Every structure is written in C-alpha cells, then in structure tokens.
Amino acid sequence: MMNMEVNGTTIQVKLYENSSAEAVKELLKKGPFTIEMKDYAHMEKFGSFGMQVPTNDETITTEAGDVILSEGNLLVIYYAPNTWNFTRLGKIRNLSETELKQVLGKGSITAVLTLADDE
C-alpha cells in the first residue's frame, strides 16, 4: 500500500504486483517522495518521477482512481476514463470518484508519496 498526501488528505493506493510497482516501492523505502502534478484534459493529474521506471504496458481503459505509469516516467492519477497503452501501478481504495475529484481540485497539486505502515 502506498499513501499519497494531497491537499491535506491521505489517499490510499493498493499497489499492483508488477516490476513497475516494485520499483516505486523501492524508491519510497528511501523516504517520502514529493511530486508536482499538473492537470491534463480534466481527466488526470500527472507528474514526473524524474527517472525511468520499468514498464508493463498494456492497452487499457482507465477509470477514476486508477494510478498509472505513463511513458516510463510519469505518475498519473485518473479521475475520468482514457484508453491507451499504460502500466497499472495501483488503485485508490479510500475515496469515491466524487471525493477524489474534490481532493484533487482544479489545477496543479503537490503529492507526497510514502509507503503505508504495512509495507
């Protein structure tokens, strides 16, 4: 489990079992990771890890709450559907689509990623 602190709210993300999610876990074992995220097309927030992460791309259609790796270096939080070749990193567990949109708000955000205590 990964936590994302955004606008004072902790978003819980259940990570998938793949090499991409494992690489993110390894990064977070070093400590909290802050990522600046921009809004794109009123369907996602995205920000760069600043490095390449292993990909496991497949053609998928996202839904609200999907946490995706795009282009091997972008963390993306979806709050609307999109179909493309992506790597699934995880799924938000503690917020509904409406709650997620409220937390993410409009415009850019800062997300602080940490491993949950159970990792």
Q: Give yes or no for a contact between 25 and 1, defined as CB atoms under 8 angstroms apart.
A: no
Report residue 11's pLDDT band, with 50, 70 and 90 as the boundaries: very high
Where on the phi/psi map is residue 13: left (φ > 0), alpha (ψ -120 to 50), or beta? beta
Question: pLDDT tens digits, residue range 68-86?
Answer: 999 999 999 999 999 999 9
Phi, psi angles (nearest 5°) of residue 111: -115, 135
Instruction: Give the pLDDT mean for 27-51.
Output: 96
pLDDT, one tens digit per residue, over 49-62 is 999 999 999 999 99
- pTM > 0.75: yes
